Amino acid sequence: MHRMKSRALALLIGLLVPLGCSSGDGLERAQVRGEVQVDGQPLEEGSINFFPAGDAEGPSAGGVIAQGKYDISQESGPVVGKNRVEIRGVKKTGRMVPNHMAPGTMREELVEALPPDVNVKSKMVRDVAKGSNVIDFVDLKGQPIPPSKEKGKGASQKSQ
């Protein structure tokens, strides 16, 4: 009896392991990497997402942007074909704001670095080919740093 359970368990593991090692979704995916620059400077940190567009079908794929570079492996990459691209990133304003995660301390203020037409309202479409792709975004324009929300509060904040 114990031997039969061991064989059944071994068979089950043998069937499940290959499924966990590949995307297993039957879609043709590609590796994508590239550079992201905003106003001529590398985007320090952010994210990039590819959404199938046109005749391409499948799930979205995304990755992290660090020091102006991203790299999404083929296993988790975008599907081959046209993809709409959304890029998000943050930039420092040079202002200090209250740190809600550590009350009583301050942190550098971060704001969205890119306008909506590059992320939530993006119409950027790129072709993703089979295999390995280099898709750069080096001509992006950032959005201006918004004015401080603390206008008129400076004096009362300092006296607390």
pLDDT at 147: 84
The contacts of residue 47 (CB under 8 Å, 6+ apart) are 62, 63, 64, 65, 87, 88, 89
- How far is 83 from 86, CA to CA, in rounded Å? 10
> Whole-prediction pTM value?
0.73
Contacts 24+ apart (CB under 8 A), 59-63: 59/25, 59/27, 61/29, 61/32, 63/32
Cα 74–chain centre separation: 16
Please give the chain's pLDDT, 160 residues, in tens: 444 444 433 433 443 333 333 456 789 999 999 999 999 999 999 999 999 998 889 999 999 999 999 999 999 999 999 999 999 999 889 999 999 999 999 999 999 999 999 999 999 999 999 999 999 999 999 988 888 765 544 433 433 3
Q: Could you tell me the domains of the chain? A: 25-146 (2.60.40.1120)
Residue (of 110, 103, 109) closest to 88 by Cα position: 110
